[in-house]
Amino acid sequence: MRVTTSFPLGTLRDTPSEAEIISHQLLLKAGYIRRVNSGIYAYMPIMLRVIEKISAIIERELNSIGCTKLLLPQLHPADLWKKSERWEGYTAGEGIMFNLKDRQGKEFGLGPTHEEVITSIASEIINSYKQLPQCFYQIQTKFRDEIRPRFGLMRSREFIMKDGYSFHYSGKDLASFYERMGDTYENIFKSCGLQTVGVEADSGAIGGAASKEFMITADAGEDSILFTQSGSYAANIEKAISIPSQPIPLKDSISGIIETPQQKTILEVCKNNNLDPSQVIKVVVFLAKFEGKSECPILACIRGDQHINEVKLYNLINKLHTPNLLKLQKIEDKNIIDKNLVNFPLGFLGPDLGNQTIKASSNWDKKWIRIIDHSASNLPKFISGANKVDLHKVYEEFSFSSTEYLIEDIRNAKKGDKIKIDHNEELEEKKGIEIGHIFQLGQKYSEKLNAKFSDKDGQLKNLWMGCYGIGVTRIAQAAIEQNHDQKGICWPIQISPFEIIIIPTNLKDPIQKDLTEQIYSNFLINKVEVLLDDRDDRAGVKFKDAELIGIPFQIIIGRDSVNKEVELICRKNNTKLKISADKLLETFISESEIMYNKNSQC
RNA sequence: CGGGGCGUGGCGCAGCUUGGUAGCGCGGGUGCUUUGGGAGCACUAGGUCGCAGGUUCGAAUCCUGUCGCCCCGACCA
């Protein structure tokens, strides 16, 4: 490709002010993407090459384990989503599915994910266990009406994703395929030249049993991951399970009511009364809103030095109740409290708060759902609110197991926690960018969409399903977050738009020009992905642009052309090799091979 | 949705307090010079100052409304 005639670069001198994180700034400045609207981007030619590189790697690896590529529609009829009971959750309120009506008033959604569509189609073509297992995938634009799009392609409203769906005759077959897919994902990311970590994950709105996320570690990441140094454990903080530190026992001498005027937080209570947070149980109130408008108030209790994990709490409540849980929110708003609760001493709540605090006129359920975390359930003696303003009290021999309390894990694991009692390894924390996620869906969708097959015994059974996503455009940006320097992008060669860029420093010099053309055509003939910067610009401009766009190798053709000598430069570590033009191709091939094999090290 | 910030040429910004011919740097075009690290000189094109009302002889500037974007949070794959 020639910059002047077929491949305009569109680099910018200044960084557009809208970009905050480095990878987003570089994508814009180096001319890879242009913003069209909030969370909507055009992929420029140079970006498309990166996308196609990543896609090709994904296709190669998935095909190697027998997956089949197809292309599904983006307009999804509402009926399908109503069958899976996701329509309301995905469109109402803060749902993320764009939706619209056709000229006849029929409702449609723009596909944010494709479980419904693929399941309904698979059920039509899969009749017998003999056709199983089967895995279909596509690489296509997804639409999500994110509440707040941000960081360029990291969280955009329109993005390219590889999504795959597998079908099985048993949970066991699904589980083994899921493991295989996990290995394939590792290969894909390694083939892209990326460092990733696989972590246990919450399965979120997609639902299902096991799920694993693949993260690129980077400070700009939106997720927190907890892991042990040895690699024996790694999980998203939403899912991570650990052992909390030991509580400090309360003194025997303390008992009865404690006056705590204006002390509404754990910290204030501890500071003023010489207590440790681990001696306190905090009571947090939530409201669960279910599909069909029913609402239940929740008392969630946890040791004072720990934090409630709202994802765990959400999943727990969703599991316990039949209508789908739409929303879980903390009750803090005074208007809501006044309307639904009476004698409600917020800030001084204890675990024995009575059901009579819920007003008869409220449309809430008239009974608190009571949940306590393991960290607090067996404290023999603890401090908590006395259910009266400005008072706390010492609870002794309060038994959660004999009351209406559910004892569950609703706690955020944290840095420094141990993962096993007899083990000294402590959890560490890092930020990560989620680029892949695999799920064992089980039979959730096949049940709802009536997707059945005949088993060996002739009985109709629900298909077992898995689903597997990779954020293609997100990988591209995350790769930059992981591979850049002060000058610009340093692509891993595996996903770089070109392998090499030729920079003639002065095209008016006929010797340089001839040598440039000769080298360029030689590279083309030998199928090297080469970009020729044939602009009539000063050398400095071309050097800067080449560094900015981040192609791993540069050939500088300059003064030494008279002697048929050029320079070969490695973008990443800036090594320069002065070399005869005759040996250029073979040197490049061996150098680039090293780079391909060594995961983008020169 | 709550809080904060910003809308002025392709990009980055000044001008607004105190109303009076719409500016600067970069980028674009033409010409000459220059040519290994974002060149110099000269000429040049390009803007309904987000939009709509209002105040005024006169509004980028003041007032009201509205739309959009960015950041933090809430929320969410």
| Count of structural domains within chain A | 3
Note whether A334 and A448 are same-domain residues. no
CA A234 to chain centre: 15
Report the pLDDT value the prediction gives residue A205, as an integer from 0 to 100. 58
In angstroms, the CA of A536 and the C1' of B44 are apart by: 21
CA–CA separation, A389 vs A410, rounded Å?
27
Q: What is the pLDDT of residues A296-349, one digit of tens each?
A: 899 999 999 998 888 888 888 888 877 777 788 888 777 788 888 888 888 889
Average pLDDT of the segment spanning A534-551: 95
- Would you say residue A207 has pLDDT above 70? no
A57: in domain: yes
Nucleotide nearest to A238 (CA to C1'): B77
Note whether A342 and A206 are same-domain residues. no
Average pLDDT of the segment spanning A123-144: 96
Average pLDDT, chain A: 91
In angstroms, the CA of A502 and the C1' of B40 are apart by: 27
Note whether A211 and A268 are same-domain residues. no
Give SS3 for A135: strand
Average pLDDT of the segment spanning A127-133: 97
Nearest CA to A504 out of A536, A480, A530, A472 is that of: A536
A19: in domain: no
pLDDT band at A401 (very low <50, low <70, confident <90, very high): confident
A27: in domain: no
Q: Can you list the alpha helix ranges (DSSP code H) found in A289-352?
A: 310-320, 334-340
Nearest CA to A470 out of A65, A56, A146, A27 is that of: A56
In angstroms, the CA of A12 and the C1' of B33 are apart by: 26
Nucleotide nearest to A544 (CA to C1'): B38
In angstroms, the CA of A256 and the C1' of B11 are apart by: 69
**Distances in whole angstroms, Cα of residue A140 to Cα of each of A59, A184, A317:** 13, 20, 34
Note whether A180 and A42 are same-domain residues. yes
Note whether A198 and A266 are same-domain residues. no
Note whether A326 and A223 are same-domain residues. no
In angstroms, the CA of A13 and the C1' of B23 are apart by: 21
Residue A381 sits in a domain of what CATH number? 3.90.960.10
- Would you say residue A448 has pLDDT above 60? yes
Q: Domain range spanning residue A538?
A: 492-597
Note whether A57 and A198 are same-domain residues. yes
Give SS3 for A82: helix
Domain boundary residue, one of A481, A502, A523: A481
Q: Among A206-215, A437-446, A550-559, name the one with the lowest average pLDDT.
A: A206-215
Report the pLDDT value the prediction gives residue A602, as an integer from 0 to 100. 42
Note whether A61 and A188 are same-domain residues. yes
A449: in domain: yes
Residue found under tokens 């937080």: A265
Average pLDDT of the segment spanning A281-287: 90
In chain A, what percentage of residues exceed pLDDT 70?
A: 98
A15: in domain: no
Report the pLDDT value the prediction gives residue A271, as an integer from 0 to 100. 87
Note whether A343 and A375 are same-domain residues. yes
A546: in domain: yes
Q: What is the pLDDT of residues A224-272, one digit of tens each?
A: 899 998 888 999 988 898 998 889 999 888 889 999 998 888 888 898 8
CA–CA separation, A159 vs A55, rounded Å?
13
In angstroms, the CA of A284 and the C1' of B70 are apart by: 34
Contact A506/A539 with Cβ under 8 angstroms? yes
Nucleotide nearest to A508 (CA to C1'): B35
- Would you say residue A158 has pLDDT above 70? yes
Contact A406/A371 with Cβ under 8 angstroms? yes
User: Looking at strand B, which nucleotides approach a protein CB closer than 7 A?
Assistant: 1, 10-13, 25-27, 34-39, 68-77
Nucleotide nearest to A205 (CA to C1'): B77
Note whether A181 and A265 are same-domain residues. no
pLDDT band at A601 (very low <50, low <70, confident <90, very high): very low
Residue A456 sits in a domain of what CATH number? 3.30.930.10
Note whether A384 and A504 are same-domain residues. no
Nearest CA to A510 out of A451, A562, A549 is that of: A562
A230: in domain: yes
- Helices A472-482 and A22-29: angle between axes, nearest 10 degrees: 100
Nucleotide nearest to A95 (CA to C1'): B76
CA–CA separation, A446 vs A283, rounded Å?
39
Note whether A273 and A382 are same-domain residues. yes
**Residue with smallest Cα–C1' gap to B73:** A148
Domain boundary residue, one of A451, A481, A511: A481
CA–CA separation, A377 vs A409, rounded Å?
10
CA–CA separation, A286 vs A441, rounded Å?
28
Q: Among A400-404, A487-491, A509-513, name the one with the lowest average pLDDT.
A: A400-404
Residue A551 sits in a domain of what CATH number? 3.40.50.800
- Would you say residue A503 has pLDDT above 60? yes
Average pLDDT of the segment spanning A460-468: 96
A402: in domain: yes
